[in-house]
Structure 1
Amino acid sequence: MIPTRTLHIDRIACTGRGLCGELLPELIDLDEWGYPIVKDRSVPDHLRTHARRAAAACPVLALHLDAGRT
């Protein structure tokens, strides 16, 4: 069984640059200041690669993709 992946944002580390919302608009909206709002923390299988790319591209490493249990 493949574990469910979930998105987590470190709100203290986040500086609101908005890159995650540009790279993963399917799961992340941006507020008026550029801070992320996660629409759904569960990452579907077809978006895992994109979610990993968005987490790796975060300039302050505030976005994390964690493995959970199903």
Structure 2
Amino acid sequence: MATSESNTTYSAPVGSVDLAAMNDEGEPYEIWPCGSCLPWHAEVVRADEEVLVREWHAVNCPEFQKLIKG
């Protein structure tokens, strides 16, 4: 049985990180679904004049942990 420390299922608590939607040349980044957690989803948001991609992951997802640690 999975513990709460390794919960990456649909019932896992989720967190988000905002990422740039465009690279320095103004071209969009490709977005791929996370293969490490089930609740992953993304949304495009606008903050002032900047366009961002907000990715949602299970908080214990290894990919999410990499993103928030930089």
TM-score surpassing 0.5?
no
Which structure has the larger Rg?
2
Pick the structure with more strand per residue: 2
Which structure has more helix as a fraction of its residues? 1
Could you say which structure has the greater relative contact order, defined with CA pairs below 8 angstroms and 6 or more residues apart? 1
